[in-house]
A and B are shown apart, each in its own frame.
Chain A
Amino acid sequence: MENFIPNFNWHQFLTAPWANGAAMSSIWIALMGFFVTTACGLVGNYLILRRMALVGDAISHSILPGLVIAFLIAQTRSSTAMFIGALAAGVLTTVIIEVIHKKSRVKQDSAIGIAFTTLFAIGVILISLYASKVDLDQECVLYGEIAFVPLEPLVKFAGINLGPLPVARMGIITLLTAIFIFVFYKQLLVSSFDPGLASSLGINATVVHYSLMCWLSIVVVSAFESVGAILVVAMLIMPGATASLISQRLPVIMVLTVVNAALSSILGIHLATWLDCSTAGAMVVMATFLFCLAWVFGPVDGLIHRWMRAKLEKPGDPAMESGVVVQK
């Protein structure tokens, strides 16, 4: 217990990840973390707005069997097979949740809980049965191995080094996510806030819903390898939740999400190097830390802000303050 936490040394904390030997891999890990958090965070903002944060949780768990089955069938780790498997599993999850919820009296929250645990359990069992054939292990499924990213083969395009394959792929996905949101900004915004208005403007809510779910599956599956099923949930929800404590405007929230992604991935690398622990885990710990900062110091409903406001406001009618309304 005594020597469990290494000595803290500012100089070492700040320089260790960027020391000569480690600099290059740290850059790739940081970029990967940044891409993953940005793509997830941007999509996650809409999940938060639509009160579907836990559907994101469900999908991130239940793409696992899709991934494994696609791998077992195709016998390669090609992106296409993985995307197809993940898409199928993602859509299947939403359908199962809908069916259980609509066709029986089980409530939606229980339906989510049942659907994703079942699919995830199938995935884990498949992995443990075919462990030799699938190069995913049980722990990796949970929290990923972002530290292995620099070891992947490099991708070169027209003589330019684009970095390791997962980083390049994630970069493209992130770019596409940004474009997707930019192009369909109005549709997503209106259908998230006011489904009634959306349908009167001729926006098909079902199409928007399912395209969002499909895109979510794609983002989650490309992030899956490096951060695993559960930490993806953090990447989806944490940046958006943090940002929405700082601002109430969606464009500002989007920008803050990106800033948050950069900060948490770089800080996470420092933390992981110091403590010698899972890098993806450390990134999420840092994202949690940033959330706590926003919660305490945030300008919208930060704790300090609320406390100040409560002090500044004159004490009013005691009956009103205690929330009791006397009916005449």
Chain B
Amino acid sequence: MCAPKAGCKPALRIYTRRMQVLPRVVFFLAFMAISFSCHAVRIGDLSETNIGEQALRFFTLQDPSVRYALIGSILLGVTCGLLGSFIVVRKMALVGDALSHAVLPGVALGFLWNMNKDPLTIFIGATIAGLLGTATVAAIKHTTRLKEDTILGMVLAGFFSIGICLVTMIQHLPTGNKSGVDKFLFGQAAAISAADVRLMAIIAAISIAAIVLFYKEFLVTSFDSGFARAVGFPIRLIHHALMLLLAFAVVIALQAVGVVLVSAMLITPAAAAYLLTDRMHRMLLLAATFGMLAGTAGAFFSFLGPSLPTGPFMVLGASAVFALAFLFGPRHGVVMRWWNHRSRSQRTKNENTLKSIYHVLEGREFQGEGVSLQELARRRNETADEASRQAAALSRRGFATQDENLIFLTPEGWQKAWTIVRNHRLWELYLTRAAQIPADRVHDDAENIEHVLGEDVVRELERGLEYATKDPHGKPIPSLADMQKGMAADQRDGLVGYGKKFER
């Protein structure tokens, strides 16, 4: 790198500066997305504080402010995760967003009440403003033709603008600059006091108690409101109760996460949990855990440098959890599904090749057992290259062995081929007999089902079709005897697997 006074050309200097910045940004983003562990070093470089010391202070928990920040973050993570689960399954995620922006005027008014950051007045003001916001959404929805997304956006921005006006007015007051009311925008976990923690603990306890006591009510109204109405649950009351709890959760998260990003703490951990399980109680537990993790991560990273906001770090923590669940979730994860899909389609391909080999053998009445690549290629209307690739795939799975140009089925391969052909023909016969589909229409359906028919179904089909021996096209349905004949030991050549070499 060229030193500033080394006299290099301006263009070059700009270029080198760019070269410094770009990798930093890319590196930083990649790290944020993947892991937390060694990320601390970057922040240390940039904010010029001693990271080791800061981290030590954080983990030894000697500092009361660290203790408060950590406990607060955990409490809010749990509360938000639990309540967020309900809004995610109710498809009301963006109601959380509107609600969280709508509390800002309440925060400002609560602050103005006696000109300091008294947690209780701010809490009351913010809760009232949040509930007013949801009530306004309901009122506009009820009386106009506007769609819900428009209304949410409008209420969000309208309330927020009033809040912004109030906040800027507070800041222009003589004492306003030190008020710290602007910390409510992006959150500062370090500003959490003992009084805040007490309030947060009370609210978290209320939320958890409400969810435990009325679990059934919340569950039923979330998933089947028609049924809930039929059995006489007070749906509106439950909805309002959920809104109230949600407002509580938003308000206690304000101090640490900030108005703007609270909705992420509601949505993201719950959505990650939603990807991992199908049971509501497990989803609640997972969401609470993820919320807690995100909260802790946020508190930790914002503590490492001066003036680092807490909220964005918590949000990124939650997003990282979501990204992991999205990619690697055992059932719904993208990678897992891609892998399953791939192995399934590979299996289908192998089975189709085996079937073709069976057809070739059948075509010459099982005289001579080796099938040449050319024969296979001709049968499948493919090039010899394709055929040799498929033969190689079969050899890898132990279904066949290959001797130069010839493919020999192993006993496993023979059995598999026999099974597929039997499934195919049985199914064709079943469709023509039981569903009265013309014989020339049944092939395509059988092509798909042959790979997934289980042994039980096959037994039942055979019984239902009275152990028929011919398929609708007049071809024989392979019987158990055929399979055993094919695997008979006296026909096997030890070296190349099943059968004798085919003599031309």
Contacts and interface: CB of A to CB of B under 8 A. Distances in A.
Interface of A: 1, 4, 48, 51-54, 56-57, 69, 72-75, 100, 103-107, 109-110, 112-114, 117-118, 120-122, 124-126, 128-131, 138-139, 142-143, 230-231, 233-234, 236-238, 240-241, 244-245, 271-272, 275-278, 280-285, 287-288, 291, 295, 300-301, 303, 306
A118 B144 contact: no
With most chain A CB atoms within 10 A of its CB, the pick from B143, B165, B168 is: B165
Contacts of A287: 158, 161
A300 B143 CA distance: 11
Contacts of B313: 121, 125
B283 interface: no
Contacts of B164: 142-143, 231, 277-278, 280-281, 284
A226 B21 CA distance: 27
Contacts of B162: 281, 285, 288
Contacts of A143: 161, 164, 168
A52 B168 CA distance: 31
B263 interface: yes
Interface stretch (B232-240, B264-272, B365-373, B409-417): B264-272
Contacts of B172: 276-277
B157 interface: yes
Nearest to A139: B182
Interface string B84-128: 000010011110110001000000000011110000000000000
With most chain B CB atoms within 10 A of its CB, the pick from A104, A121, A237, A295 is: A121
Contacts of A283: 161
Interface string B315-346: 11001001000100000101000000000000
A190 to B, nearest CB: 19
A48 B150 contact: yes
B153 A237 contact: yes
B143 A301 contact: yes
Contact of B173 (A4, A131, A139): A4
A6 to B, nearest CB: 9
A1 B115 contact: yes
25 contacts: A53-B152, A57-B153, A106-B274, A109-B91, A112-B93, A112-B94, A120-B312, A120-B315, A124-B309, A124-B311, A125-B32, A125-B313, A126-B25, A143-B164, A230-B260, A231-B161, A233-B157, A238-B154, A238-B157, A241-B151, A271-B165, A277-B165, A283-B161, A284-B160, A285-B165
B312 A54 contact: no
A38 B172 CA distance: 30
Contacts of A138: 185-186, 309
B169 A236 contact: no
B156 A233 contact: yes
A117 B156 contact: no
A300 B271 CA distance: 39
A34 to B, nearest CB: 17
Given A110-B271, A114-B271, A139-B182, A231 B157 contact: yes
Lowest 10 CB-CB distances: which A-B pairs, in order? Answer: A234-B157, A117-B264, A284-B161, A121-B312, A281-B164, A288-B158, A121-B315, A113-B267, A118-B319, A278-B168
A294 to B, nearest CB: 9
A245 B161 contact: no
Given A122-B312, A125-B313, A295-B144, A53 B169 contact: no
Given A53-B149, A114-B319, 6 more contacts: A53-B147, A57-B153, A124-B311, A128-B309, A230-B160, A244-B145
Given A113-B267, A117-B319, A285-B161, A124 B25 contact: no
Contacts of B113: 1
Contacts, number: 236
B1 interface: no
Contact of A238 (B17, B91, B158): B158
B37 interface: no
B173 A306 contact: no
Contacts of B32: 122, 125
Nearest to B314: A121
B46 interface: yes
Contacts of A241: 146, 150-151, 154
Contacts of A69: 25
Given A142-B185, A238-B154, A276-B172, A113 B263 contact: yes
Given A118-B315, A278-B168, A237 B144 contact: no
B230 to A, nearest CB: 15
Contacts of A110: 88, 91, 93, 267, 270-271, 274
A275 B165 contact: yes
Given A73-B21, A75-B18, A121-B264, A284 B186 contact: no
A114 B322 contact: yes
A112 B145 CA distance: 23
A51 B153 CA distance: 11
Contact of B46 (A104, A129, A236, A282): A129
B433 to A, nearest CB: 40
With most chain B CB atoms within 10 A of its CB, the pick from A48, A72, A114 is: A114
A117 B268 contact: yes
B264 A114 contact: yes
A256 B279 CA distance: 50
B161 A288 contact: yes
Contacts of B140: 295
A125 B309 contact: yes
A106 B271 CA distance: 7
Given A234-B161, A237-B154, A117 B263 contact: yes
B307 interface: yes
A294 B298 CA distance: 43
B12 interface: no
A276 B146 CA distance: 33
B22 interface: yes
B262 to A, nearest CB: 9
A153 B47 CA distance: 33
